[in-house]
Structure 1
Amino acid sequence: MTTTMTETIRTVQNGAASIAYRVLGPSGEAAPTLCLIASTGRGPDDFRHLAEALATGGLRVVLPWPRGMGDSTGPLEDIDFHDLAGDAAAALAAEKGAGGAVVVGHAYGCWIARTVAQDRPELIDGLVLLAAGGGKWPAQLSRAIEVAMDPDAPEDERLAALRLGFFAEGHDPRPWLQGWNGALVGAQRAARTRTERDSWWTSGRAPVLDVVGLQDPFRPAGARDFYLREFAPRVTLATVDGASHALPDEKPAEVAALMLPWIHALRDGSGPERNQD
């Protein structure tokens, strides 16, 4: 049977939030479904090339806009990780077929993806971390985020901040001068402060693929095995050379080449086992 590739925009409710999302990939029940959750203050456009590569590889890709971006709406006050995770989980659950479900986070989105895996273990067959931070990082990197997203800062300073914190040498950071949402950043940071660490840190029980750019300053060599130490033997660590914190946008083909066999292996039983604890 020939699979038909589709691209559709839909909405789903999560309590008071209405979440818009794009679905890309083969139609039908058999394809594995995965949800890509974007980084701080940003939306799913950063995943454009990665999503296309994953869809071409046989996956059904769900790309939600976070509340406050695109056509997604919902309260930004007094929310926590579980509210944001519920948004992504609602979109993923609405599209999941018989092929299983994987949740994928990029940078800040890794925290939300891990919360989805913790809150909905019955839904999640696999968890993929793209450019997850290693626990702690220098204050200058947090400052780089502030400068990079500030539309009033001089452009040369913003580009320098993007090169410092997000882009490896040889990659053009200029597209990331756009796409930031300051109100969302404030809400996401407040959500982190409001969320009890023990309520999400374990990250469920699904196998984990941890993909790290070798030039990512948020994950230096000494922290490369951070999640292996935290969650082994659930974790498979993979690295991509020539990539920094904007990993899925810098190296989409390489990231897809790592994700696709790992996700397909979950279906045929050859992948890592779930934690049964």
Structure 2
Amino acid sequence: MKKRWLCAALFALLGGCASVPGDTAQAVPNATAAQTRTMVDGRIEVYAQGSGPLVVMLPSRGRGAEDFFELAPYFVKAGYRVVMPQPRGIGKTTGAMKDITLHDLANDTAAVIRSEGGKPALVVGHAFGNWVARMTGVDHPELVRGVVIVAAAAKKYPAGLSEHVDRSAELSLPDAERLKSIQYAFFAPGHDAKVWLHGWYPEVSESQRMAGKATKQSEWWSGGAKPLLDLQAENDLFKPVETRGEIRDEFGERVTVKVIPNAGHALVPEQPAAVAEAIISWDRGLK
């Protein structure tokens, strides 16, 4: 898994990487276009790659766009343009970090979509990013053609899990302690959580946590009125089995539920090929 993390880092620099010998994950397809890095509105750093229908990817709490560097080539190969904005406080992205709500973060996403021409985008949000994706669907429906929520937590999930997310991003703790929380909260049994030992931003994590607390769940929960893919992980502690149908039960046929086997709350680094296949298949079915 360390090799996969290195591969992702090289991808950021070189715009592509080959398969990694000895890695248990499926090989990343070769990119068909180099990755670019630009600034939107002078304050939002955005990585982009490929051409075609627009896909915007929003990362988990306290983590950056690099989490999608291994996933993006699957979409590029399938004929999509992938844009991956850095959240506030990561890389060169700036903006208020205190006294903000999910509406502010959704406005950042909207600015990125407008910078790409304003055609409706598929907005993909992983874990905390799904809150922002759904808020974007509510606040900016004209810019969204569909919402994909990846490893979205249930409306109510087991107590204590959020503490493990906090500990995962607490860099003052020994790596061994952090790794225990990362393994428990994010990865399915048997998967090596070291791939997520790095890439955490404590101040960003806290800012996003407070933005979520400052926004009523009812304001973002629906994701708007566009089609929604609820992409779940089979071993996600944040999504107990009895809650798997809660979003579809509430919003009906506009919601599609897909469960990815052998994955936890991290999901994307665990099963990138399956994640890409599920999203692309669903999106093409919308047309």
| TM-score normalised by structure 1 residue count | 0.88
Superposed counterparts of 1:187-266, under 5 Å: 187-266=207-286
**1:6 Cα offset (Å):** 3.8
Instruction: Tell me what 2:40 maps to.
Output: 12
In 1, the alpha carbon distance for the partners of 2:214 and 2:118 equals 33
Q: Give the AA of the match of 1:245.
A: H
Superposed counterparts of 1:116-135, under 5 Å: 116-135=136-155
**1:205 Cα offset (Å):** 1.0
Q: Number of matched residues?
A: 256
In 2, the alpha carbon distance for the partners of 1:126 and 1:146 equals 30
What SS does structure 2 have at the residue aligned with 1:247? coil
Candidates 53, 56, 60, aligned match of 1:32: 53
**Do structure 1's residue 23 and structure 2's residue 44 form an aligned pair?**
no
**Residue deviations 1:33-83, cap 9 Å, x none?**
010011111111111111111111111101000010011011111111010
Candidates 40, 44, 47, aligned match of 2:65: 44
What SS does structure 2 have at the residue aligned with 1:68? coil
In 2, the alpha carbon distance for the partners of 1:159 and 1:18 equals 32
Instruction: Tell me what 1:88 maps to.
Output: 109
Q: Give the AA of the match of 2:48.
A: V
In 1, the alpha carbon distance for the partners of 2:247 and 2:220 equals 14
Instruction: Tell me what 2:9 maps to.
Output: none
Candidates 149, 165, 183, aligned match of 1:163: 183
- Change in Cα spacing, 1:161 to 1:197, as seen in structure 2 (3 Å) is closer
**Do structure 1's residue 138 and structure 2's residue 158 form an aligned pair?**
yes
Q: Give the AA of the match of 2:220.
A: W
**Residue deviations 1:238-271, cap 9 Å, x none?**
01111000011110000101111211222x3xxx
Candidates 161, 169, 187, aligned match of 1:149: 169
Instruction: Tell me what 1:180 maps to.
Output: 200
**1:96 Cα offset (Å):** 4.4
In 2, the alpha carbon distance for the partners of 1:39 and 1:105 equals 8
In 1, the alpha carbon distance for the partners of 2:142 and 2:189 equals 41
Q: Give the AA of the match of 2:39.
A: T
Q: Give the AA of the match of 1:10.
A: T
What SS does structure 2 have at the residue aligned with 1:233? helix
**1:10 Cα offset (Å):** 1.2
Aligned-residue Cα RMSD (Å) equals 1.5
**Residue deviations 1:160-185, cap 9 Å, x none?**
11111001123211121111111111
Q: Are 1:130 and 1:210, in contact at CA under 8 Å, matched by a contact in 2?
A: yes
Q: Give the AA of the match of 2:70.
A: H
Runs of 5+ unmatched residues, structure 2: 1-31
**Residue deviations 1:87-130, cap 9 Å, x none?**
112112211476x4111100011000000000111111110010
**Do structure 1's residue 68 and structure 2's residue 89 form an aligned pair?**
yes
| TM-score normalised by structure 2 residue count | 0.85
Q: Are 1:32 and 1:97, in contact at CA under 8 Å, matched by a contact in 2?
A: no
